[in-house]
Amino acid sequence: MKGDYQDLVDEISALLDAPATLENRDFRLIAFGAHDSEDDLAMDPVRTRSILTRQSTAAVRSWFEGFGIARATGPVRIPAAPEAGVNRGRICLPVRYRGIVHGYVWLLDAEPGPDAEQLAAAMEVAERIGLLLAEEAKAGADLSREFRAALTAGRGREQELTAGALRAALGAGADGLHAVVCVAPWTGEAPASVQGAAAVCVAPLRGAGFDGGSGAEGGSGAGGGGTVPVGLALAVLVRLRSPELLTPAVNTAGRLLSGRGAPAAGPSAGSAPAFTATAAGRTPAPAAGVGRPVRGLAELPEAWAQATAAARAALAQPKLGPVAEWDRIGPYRMLAALTADAAQDPAIRALLGPAHPELARTAEVFLDCAGQAGRAAAALGIHRQTLYYRLSRVEQLTGLDLDEGEDRLLLHMALKAARLPG
């Protein structure tokens, strides 16, 4: 497939007598033509970075998108802007298929530049590129049965068989580096295409309170209304070039969230969401999780478990999201592995009831502040004496002694676990 893109880019370069580059709609480089100019301006900083790092910065992307390239159906001329590192003007050929933009072909503009007939011929080639990109994305969706089976397989022989079936379906790229993305909650079918995905499917969300069916009940959560049962999630398999670079997977998650109406960002790090946020049974805004990179397919179930844990953590604690990486969710890595029964310790059941949301929040903030009363009172916006009174009520309700480290640990874990959706 990569060779096909290179051939088409070379064809455009020959038609317009100018070096061309092809990027997907996330401005990640797919193919580029040869540069044989001795003119230093032919390789400005933006193009050089794109070729060397195979991606453009968010600022560059925003600047070019300001010229309407995502909506354009024909060539777009973009003037030079040396202050932005763009020493030469550009011609952008949007790569579309059935009205959806899948990428962009970029050429350096020059006088007198290509005429209308040359540009029309180049756009015909761009349409062929669009068809290839759309088919590549659709191929991932067509593997949903094999992908789902590989994610949910048990250990041993079943795991070997399902991984083998997916490997055969994926072909040559199966044994490369991949990351699994989880977007939850998810309703409906998997999208027909996901840019950059090797495979997509809808699968059960693995976690506390979920038994593998859709719509299973979660355990009783903070605020008395119970955690919201999430049920199903979208799983996406993303190919990676480097184990240290999860950017393609994170970008894929971000695109899916923006398409599902998820918030652009969580609250500030110092904020603490109220325990009543999911008490009324409202469906939470979607969040996404990304597991550690894996090579080959044998470890997909573990990667899916990590991705779902990260997504549940982002749902429970908005400051971790909207896209959370498993390596960065701290204690939720352990808490997400607990069963619903283990997470709901009887000692704090009364505290998590509908009558005491303020006490539960006070206890969590106090423990988040490492038991420092001054910090906790400031974070809650209350007087220290009010804090001490509330903590004494927490001790009465739970029977726990907040001067004891193990009791603090139990309470802290239980409060965090109560946030996790099932």
Query: What's the pLDDT at 270?
Result: 35
CB 106 within 8 A of CB 90: yes
- Rounded to an integer, the average pLDDT of 65-69 is 90
Encoded tokens for 169:
């379906």
Query: What's the pLDDT at 230?
Result: 52
293, 331: one domain = yes
42, 170: one domain = no
Q: Which of 285, 308, 340 is the last residue of a domain?
A: 340
d(CA 240, CA 28): 12
- Rounded to an integer, the average pLDDT of 211-217 is 32
d(CA 128, CA 147): 28
Query: What's the pLDDT at 59?
Result: 73
Tell me the C-alpha to C-alpha distance, in Å, between residue 131 and each of 5, 134, 315. Answer: 11, 5, 36
pLDDT tops 90 at residue 327: yes
Query: What's the pLDDT at 93?
Result: 95
272-286, 364-378, 405-419: range with highest mean pLDDT: 364-378
155, 111: one domain = no
Q: What SS3 class is residue 213?
A: coil
Encoded tokens for 295:
């090579």
pLDDT band of residue 53 (cuts 50, 70, 90) is very low
pLDDT band of residue 282 (cuts 50, 70, 90) is low
pLDDT band of residue 43 (cuts 50, 70, 90) is low
Query: What's the pLDDT at 353?
Result: 86
d(CA 274, CA 263): 17
52, 165: one domain = no
pLDDT tops 90 at residue 289: yes
Tell me the C-alpha to C-alpha distance, in Å, between residue 39 and each of 35, 36, 44, 155. Answer: 10, 9, 10, 59
Of all residues in the chain, the percent with pLDDT exceeding 70 is: 78
Taking the CA atoms of residue 185, residue 189, residue 192 and residue 196 in that order, the dihedral angle to the nearest 10 degrees is 30
pLDDT tops 60 at residue 32: yes
pLDDT tops 70 at residue 408: yes
Query: What's the pLDDT at 284?
Result: 65
8, 42: one domain = yes
258, 175: one domain = yes
- Rounded to an integer, the average pLDDT of 276-303 is 76
> Can you list the alpha helix ranges (DSSP code H) found in 171-298?
247-259
For residue 51, the Cα-to-chain-centroid distance in whole angstroms is 25
pLDDT tops 50 at residue 224: no
pLDDT tops 60 at residue 155: yes
Of all residues in the chain, the percent with pLDDT exceeding 90 is: 36
Residue whose entry in the numeric block shows the structure tokens 């999630």: 233
pLDDT band of residue 129 (cuts 50, 70, 90) is very high
List all residues 6 or more positions away from 365 whose beta carbon is below 8 Å from its beta carbon: 272, 376, 379, 380
CB 23 within 8 A of CB 39: no
pLDDT tops 90 at residue 225: no
What is the average pLDDT value for the chain, to the nearest integer? 79
151, 226: one domain = yes
β-sheet bridge partners, residue 9:
none
Q: Which of 139, 163, 192 is the last residue of a domain?
A: 139
39, 119: one domain = yes
386, 309: one domain = no
- Rounded to an integer, the average pLDDT of 403-422 is 87
Q: 409: domain CATH number?
A: 1.10.10.2840
- Rounded to an integer, the average pLDDT of 30-59 is 59
d(CA 283, CA 231): 11
Taking the CA atoms of residue 397, residue 403, residue 406 and residue 412 in that order, the dihedral angle to the nearest 10 degrees is 60
List strands edge to edge, sheet with 90-97. Answer: 29-32, 20-24, 100-108, 90-97, 76-78
**φ/ψ of residue 47, rounded to 5:** -70, -40
**Type and span of the H or E element at 233:** strand 232-240
Residue type, 45: P
Beta strand 323-325 with 100-108 is unpaired
182, 310: one domain = yes
Query: How many independent structural domains does the chain possess?
Result: 3
| CA 179, 183, 186, 188 torsion-angle sign | negative
Q: Which of 340, 369, 401 is the last residue of a domain?
A: 340
**Type and span of the H or E element at 408:** helix 405-419
pLDDT band of residue 383 (cuts 50, 70, 90) is very high
223, 348: one domain = no
In three state form, how does the secondary structure of 133-168 look?
A: HHHHHHHHHHCHHHHHHHHHCCCCHHHHHHHHHHHH
Query: What's the pLDDT at 273?
Result: 36
Task: Using CB atoms within 10 Å of the CB of residue 34, give its burial: 0 to 12 exposed, 13 to 18 middle, 19+ buried.
Answer: exposed
Q: How many CB atoms lie within 10 A of CB 52?
A: 9
Residues in the chain: 422
- Rounded to an integer, the average pLDDT of 30-37 is 68
pLDDT tops 80 at residue 17: yes
Taking the CA atoms of residue 388, residue 393, residue 399 and residue 402 in that order, the dihedral angle to the nearest 10 degrees is -20
Query: What's the half-sphere exposure (Cβ side, CA atoms, 13 Å) at 24?
Result: 18
pLDDT tops 50 at residue 247: yes
Range of the domain at 366: 343-419
Q: 49: domain CATH number?
A: 3.30.450.40
Query: What's the pLDDT at 133?
Result: 85
- Rounded to an integer, the average pLDDT of 194-223 is 56
Q: Which residue has the higher pLDDT, 216 or 261?
A: 261
329, 350: one domain = no
pLDDT band of residue 76 (cuts 50, 70, 90) is very high
Q: What SS3 class is residue 137?
A: helix
